Structure 1
């Protein structure tokens, strides 16, 4: 299912990463080899799993967000033949949005655009229910979002993670 993938590999080596702009994906320490193994053998050796800085987490939105809230599953890195991807796992959790929310939509690899949070809710809903409604420069790229929470557990920033 496309809704469960997110960018997380070193393929984006643009100057954006060097300019202090954050990317939503952690960089793995190695490239995978062909094949796969569930035994822990290095057949899909992506290297060390990516880790996020303290205070950030990846989520996969479970249902289209409504005004002021969303339900989302924690997204964990998974090694695939194409590198690390984030996938939602477990039960969805209910999140409220903080009074002031910084929202960003992906506008392609290494590029985001700050938008009103309502535009992000509409975009996320369209990606889940009506992808034809999404207009350039945006696209539906995996339904994975990088979020930070305030001290009360409310979403204070949310950024769509780009994936081809």
Structure 2
């Protein structure tokens, strides 16, 4: 016969498991992840129904976020140089923490226009405008895991960037997406 201590441990474990596996809000209103909010994307949650057939059916993220026209999420794969950044498209994936972007697929070159607006993350939803060369150094330092080179309030926060492209497909604005 199990002891009271074993029974209490089992009940506590079951309660913790229920708490950990519940990732969506219970009121059905939901919220977009930091990445989506920063990019101006809005998720339209549908409680209990994964919108993406590739999404884990055990998650409750709702519909994937939609980016505004002209925006693209990218994951740079090397330090940009000579006005070119090589990156992968970043696609949203349902996780226990809602929709999170991850780089996928082939590497493509993206060219920067003159007078690009560049912003780096300083915390949840906060950014700091920087010169383009500072953005390039930041991307290179984070990819090299040289976190000592990244001075606060900046951090390496996931390597995903919300990029605004012009009609030619060139970068006119780039903003790092904060991810804890």
CA shift, 1:69, in A, is 0.9
- Kindly indicate which of the two structures has a greater share of residues assigned to helix: 2
RMSD: 2.3
Distance verdict in 2 for CA 1:74–1:39, change over 3 Å: closer
Aligned length: 143
Number of the residue aligned with 2:10? none
SS of residue in 2 equivalent to 1:63: coil
Q: Distance in 1 between matches of 2:80 and 2:46?
A: 35
Equivalent runs, 1:146-157 vs 2, <5 Å: 146-157=162-173
Per the alignment, residue 13 of structure 2 pairs with none
- For the pair 1:118 / 2:133, whether they are aligned, the reply is yes
Tell whether 2:160 aligns with 1:144. Answer: yes
Q: Please say if residues 31 and 83 of structure 1, whose CA atoms lie closer than 8 Å, have aligned partners that are also in contact.
A: no
- Alpha-carbon offset, residue 128 of structure 1: 0.7
In structure 2, distance between residues paired with 1:40 and 1:124: 29
Q: Which residue of 1 aligns with 2:85?
A: 70
Partner SS state of residue 120, structure 1:
helix
Mapped partners of 2:93, 2:57: distance in 1 = 14
Change (3 A) 1:31 1:109: farther
In the aligned structure 1, how far is the partner of 2:108 from the partner of 2:84?
Answer: 10
Check 1:113–1:32 CA distance in 2 against 1; reply closer, same or farther (3 A cut). farther
Q: Give the whole-Å Cα distance in 2 for the aligned partners of 1:41 and 1:78.
A: 9
TM-score by length of 1: 0.78
> Residue 104 of structure 1 aligns with which residue?
119
8 Å CA contact 1:25–1:161 kept in 2: the answer is no
Secondary structure in structure 1 of the residue aligned to 2:38: coil
Larger radius of gyration: 2
Once residues 39 and 58 of structure 1 are traced to their aligned partners in structure 2, the CA distance between those partners, rounded to angstroms, is 19
Equivalent of 1:51, from 66, 69, 92? Answer: 66
Cross-structure match for 1:29 = 44
